[in-house]
Amino acid sequence: MTKPKRIFIVGHTGAGKFLLSEALAKRLGWELIDANPGLERYIGRSLREIFGEQGEEAFHSCEAEIISHYIGKEHVVVLLEEAVIATKENRKLLSSEFVIYLKVSTPVQLERMKGGRIPLLPIADMKAFLDKQHAERDHLFEEVATLTIDSVSVEDDVNKIIKALEE
């Protein structure tokens, strides 16, 4: 594998994407780009519920522009929005890039949200909301991933990535 010029980080809320992206960028000496507005996370509804169908399309089109922009950059670690993999266009753009899927389970997500590190969503059944997102998106994250990490710790995860980059 040719050493990538940029790395995209994807995964669900509570996976630790920001902490991993920050540590990885620092270790590589690369720039960290946080392109994750986390709308679903903060509002507690799907993008379609937030924007309506046309608004959701516009949002995903904006994500495609962001991905396209950073595909032209080098030495960047780009943290992406959880819903970025919802469209074929975005998955196609990511398919030729080095993408890390930081995998997390619903119980881990709930535990991390309980600790206050992630704002609680204003929804009645958080477990059902997160389980639905897993059912809809896990296979899409896997589809675009160059490397899937079952998170252990930030340090261990960064070491796994560095090892994969060197192979």
Task: Say which range, 49-58, 92-101, 110-119, has the weakest mean pLDDT.
Answer: 49-58
Does 50 map to a domain? yes
Domain residues for 89? 6-166
| 29 within a domain of the structure (yes/no) | yes
What is the tally of structural domains in the chain? 1
The DSSP secondary structure of 121-151, one letter per residue, reads PS-S-HHHHHHHHHHHHHHHHHHH-SEEEE-
- Whether residue 153 is contained in a domain is answered as yes
Amino acid 110: pLDDT: 85
145 is in an annotated binding site: no
Does 136 reside within a domain? Answer: yes
* 116 or 30, greater pLDDT: 30
Kindly report the CATH number assigned to the domain that includes residue 142.
Answer: 3.40.50.300
Residue 39 lies in a domain: yes
Residue 117 annotated as binding site: yes
Predicted pLDDT at 82: 84
What are 123-152's pLDDT values in tens digits?
778 899 899 999 999 999 999 999 999 987
Q: How many Cα atoms sit within 13 Å of 160 on the Cβ side?
A: 16
Was 15 annotated as part of a binding site? yes
pLDDT score at 37: 58
Is residue 149 domain-resident?
yes
**What are 32-86's pLDDT values in tens digits?**
988 865 544 444 555 555 555 556 566 667 778 888 888 989 999 999 988 889 8
* 16 annotated ligand binder: yes
Residue 1 lies in a domain: no
Asked whether residue 12 is domain-assigned, the answer is yes
Q: Would you say 38 is a known binding-site residue?
A: no
What pLDDT is attached to residue 62? 72
91 a known binding residue? Answer: no
